[in-house]
């Protein structure tokens, strides 16, 4: 398992605070808050389990349109932090949401990414999308926690996930990168950002209340968005 700096580099670039997305995600986690969440996708029953509370002052029913800039440090490394919210958390029942859905990374850098999935449901995926693709080493690390400091949680490095245990994916059609994300987990992976350009991504797990590929699956800022390489 590759080492990972939990806090990331305390640097800014071009007026952007690259740690702002990190702090917001940790605030969502409530540093260990406990509550009950309804499954936002799939058919998992509602249970009481460690989870995140809704962010104070969050705009309900508004797509995550704000971009987050993950900037390059002196070693040409980029930190990228994303979260997947449930419909209960974002204020729109049955609409899970990537936060942010539109994000930026530094061109020609090595990107160290972390995604915290607060969704406890699973949904069907097309064959092949259970495999990790496009990452350094063709693998990712799954940590069995989403709240607070997850570094001490049970972890495993995998090249694929059981297709029956996928909540969402982060999938880029043009670059081929595919990240299958289990429910109530944190995934960490590294990938190489290429030259400047914009790449669209789509969740390939048919989740939410839109009936398959409708609803949040087809809505920009929810289960689809863009990665801008700058």
> Any idea where the domains of the chain sit in the sequence?
20-51+64-229
State the pLDDT at residue 214. Answer: 86
Does 114 or 16 have the greater pLDDT score?
Answer: 114
Using the structure block, give the residue that is written with the tokens 């390939």.
204
- The confidence band for 49, taking pLDDT boundaries of 50, 70 and 90, is very low
Q: Is the pLDDT of residue 205 over 90?
A: yes
> What confidence score (pLDDT) does residue 22 get?
57
User: Which tokens belong to 79?
Assistant: 């930190």
pLDDT of 76: 79
Q: What is the pLDDT of residue 173?
A: 95
Q: How far apart are CA 223 and CA 54, in angstroms?
A: 19
Sheet-wide strand order for 224-229: 68-70, 102-105, 224-229, 197-202, 168-172, 178-181
Tens digit of each residue's pLDDT (9 = 90 or more) over 174-193? 999 999 999 999 999 999 99
- Percent residues over pLDDT 90 in the chain: 61
Q: How far apart are CA 20 and CA 26, in angstroms?
A: 10
Condensed to tens digits (0 to 9), the pLDDT of residues 72-100 reads: 444 578 899 999 999 999 999 999 999 99
Indicate the fold that domain 20-51+64-229 takes in CATH. Immunoglobulin-like (2.60.40)
pLDDT digits (tens, 9 = 90+) for 1-35: 332 233 333 322 333 344 455 555 555 555 333 23
Reply yes or no: is the peptide bond before residue 100 cis, omega within 30 of 0: yes
| Ramachandran angles phi, psi of 24, nearest 5° | -65, -40
**Averaging pLDDT over each range in 71-75, 121-125, 211-215, 224-228, which range is the top one?**
224-228
Question: pTM value?
Answer: 0.74
CB count within 10 Å of CB 145 equals 19
């Amino acid at each position: 398992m590759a080492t990972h700096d939990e806090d990331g580099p305390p640097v800014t670039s071009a007026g952007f605070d690259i740690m702002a997305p990190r702090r917001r995600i940790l605030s969502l986690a409530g540093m260990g808050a406990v509550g009950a969440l309804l499954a936002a996708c799939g058919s998992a029953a509602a249970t009481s389990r460690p989870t995140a509370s809704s962010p104070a002052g969050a705009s309900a029913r508004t797509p995550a349109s704000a971009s987050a800039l993950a900037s390059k440090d002196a070693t040409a490394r980029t930190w990228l932090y994303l979260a997947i919210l449930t419909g209960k958390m974002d204020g729109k029942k049955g609409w899970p949401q990537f936060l942010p859905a539109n994000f930026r990374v530094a061109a020609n850098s090595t990107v160290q990414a972390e995604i915290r999935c607060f969704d406890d449901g699973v949904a069907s995926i097309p064959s092949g999308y259970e495999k990790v693709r496009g990452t350094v080493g063709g693998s990712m690390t799954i940590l069995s926690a989403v709240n607070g400091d997850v570094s001490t949680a049970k972890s495993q490095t995998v090249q694929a996930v059981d297709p029956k245990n996928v909540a969402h994916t982060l999938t880029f059609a043009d670059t081929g990168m595919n990240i299958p994300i289990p429910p109530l987990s944190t995934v960490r992976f590294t990938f190489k950002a290429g030259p400047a350009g914009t790449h669209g991504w789509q969740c390939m797990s048919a989740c939410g209340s839109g009936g398959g590929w409708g609803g949040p699956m087809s809505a920009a800022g929810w289960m689809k968005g863009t990665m801008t390489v700058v």
